[in-house]
Amino acid sequence: MRRRAWGTAVALALLSVAVPATAARAAPGARPGPPPLERLFDNTAVSDDARPGEADFDGSGGSLSAQDLAAAGWTPGATPTVQGARLAWPRRAAGTPDNVRADGQSVRVRGRGDALAFLVAATGGAEASGSGTVRYADGSRSAYRLAAPDWRGGPLATKAVALPHINTPAGQLTEKARLYVVTVPLRKSREVASVELPRDGDLHVFALSVRADSAGWTGSWAASTSGYTAVGPWRDQTLRLVVHTSAGGPRVRIRLDNTFAAAPVRVGAATVAVQASGASPRSAPVPLSFRGRKGTEIPAGAQAFSDPLRFDVPPDTNLLVSVHLPGTVTAAPVHSLALQQSYVSVAGDHTADGTPDAYTSTITSWPLLTGVDVRGGPGSVVLLGDSITDGEKSGRDANRRWPDLLADRLAHQDTVPRYGVLNHGISANRVVTDRYPGDGVSTDTGGVSALHRLDRDVLAQTSARTAVVFEGVNDVRWGADADQVVAGLREIADRARARGLRVLVATIAPCEGEARCTAAADAQRSEVNAWIRSGAAFDGVLDFDAVLRDPAHPARMLPAYDSGDHLHPSEAGLAALAESVDLGLL
């Protein structure tokens, strides 16, 4: 096996998968086109635990456990949805070829979308990478570069799914095996005809397809998965989650994410309603469906979109999204700092209840639910940030986060489109360092780094048009130097702009007086801000430092805007941030 130095390219990250390619019929007498990927399978990665010698993924007898894959919900022929796209896990029995070693093969792929998605892993002990070509139906082509982490040593923070064992002829090892999904940009509105794979025998491709874009939808509400924590346990109970819309529309769909999980989660039923108060709906909750069914099972690391539902979603309004969990749930992906009281029922499916009586306990996190989309509209602005964006110090049930106030401004003007605003702030989050390690049950809900969650929380978001990045204070407070933060922000901007997004970056706010905001940390903050203000890497700069700082003491927040901890703005400070945004930049 060839060995390479481990690369840090975060573009290899993340869970975006796509729609299975459809076979094209050749006209009589026409030269046959490239075959679909499954006809090119030349390597066997999956073995039955009882017959591990029937597979050799890495050239040394190592393989993935078929039983582990099944336990994660990744069964032959399954099509889990990840980041808005479907992945066709190979419909192959254990011990038979199920992947391709990349060697320049030409593969039939069809579809229009915003990205080409690959389900991949490397087996050379390090990152495997190479360049390939996308060919379009109109005869044009575009180049791409694909990089895959190693199946045994790659980062857990960016995995699609991790399995608990590795099979070998000598016995099963208790060691995590990883599979990754990597996306590369496509030329929008052009139909893909075929894809030429890179040339690197250590790079294995299990599936590839076009991720359809989300044209016709606008994101109205969203939250990032900040960790995977112990919950409940919930046993045959219903969650009634309260979320606040930005944009409105005549149809709705929700997104449930089983991010970071090791096992599937079963959803028995789900409904949506406008909130009257507490757990009480204004009118009878309306049932949602999933691929035509009342409920769904979400594999580990995957997600589920509900089917479009004719339902009038008002802007700037609280919704009740009720989800019945018929099994026992002891841990779940959550957004920890919801700043919103939601509700948990007594036993049973209470999704359709028109009264609050069954909802006898409360939670202040958002488990599983990560998005609410509405039909129509101009698309979405995505805010990537830390606790200041997440709304710390803005008050529970108040909807006074600065993203909420920005959405209010957009809703009450006619100068620019009335974009949906998607809040992807995570309290304690950093640009370059993971707080949550990306695997397993954890008490840390600071999320994986902005770099590691960029694909999931920005690039794959519904009809994303503009990204606003407001992070870095936690990096410098915890010892990162300016060069590291600048490099991370530059990479975020480069990757987002390569996908056609506008990128605005906000300067880091002052925080002198908070215990970790030392003079040394402030020096690094100031250096990062000087680079941001140069504007070279972005489409615009939001000078939040200038908005919040005390002119007489620039390292410190203006007292009128200080919540009292010298790090988080008060509601007045958050309002000042929202008011300062030049809407024309969006």
DSSP string, 5-20: PPP--GGG------BP
SS3 534: helix
- Are 14 and 181 within 8 A, CB to CB? yes
pTM of the model: 0.93
Contact 192, 109 (CB under 8 A): yes
Q: For residue range 182-236, what is the model confidence (pLDDT) as tens digits?
A: 999 999 889 999 999 999 999 999 999 899 888 899 999 999 999 999 999 999 9
Q: Rounded to an integer, what distance in angstroms lies between the CA atom of residue 267 and that of residue 264?
A: 10
Task: Please say whether the beta carbons of 467 and 420 come within 8 A.
Answer: no
> DSSP letter at 107?
E
* Burial profile 285-308: b = 16 or more Cβ within 10 angstroms, e = fewer: bbebebeeeebbbbbbbbbbbbee
136's tokens: 């379009």
Q: Which residues contact 287 (CB under 8 A, 6 or more apart)?
A: 269, 270, 271, 294, 351, 352
Degrees (nearest 5) of the Cα angle 268, 279, 317?
A: 100
Q: Identify the DSSP state of 559.
A: G
The separation between CA 409 and the C-alpha centre of its own chain, rounded to angstroms, equals 26
CA 203-148-453 angle, to 5 degrees, is 160
Two tokens at 339?
A: 């700043």
82, two tokens: 């990840």
Tokens of 256: 């449930």
**Distance between CA 285 and CA 279 in Å, rounded?**
11
pLDDT less than 70: residues of the chain: 1-31
Tokens coding 446: 């600071």
Best CA proximity match to 347, nearest among 460, 509, 234, 214: 234
Burial of 451 (0-12, 13-18, 19+ CB in 10 A): buried
Cα separation values, 67 from 22, 175, 281, Å: 29, 15, 43
Structure tokens at 118: 């690959």
pLDDT tens per residue across span 253-284: 999 999 999 999 999 999 999 999 999 999 99
SS (H, E, C) 213-259: CCCCEEEEEECCCCEEEEEEEEEEEEEEEEEECCCCEEEEEEEEECC
Q: What is the DSSP string of 370-397?
A: EEEEEESSS-EEEEEESHHHHTTTS-TT
Q: Which CATH class is domain 378-585?
A: alpha beta
Per-residue pLDDT, 2: 37
Do 43 and 57 touch, CB atoms closer than 8 A?
yes
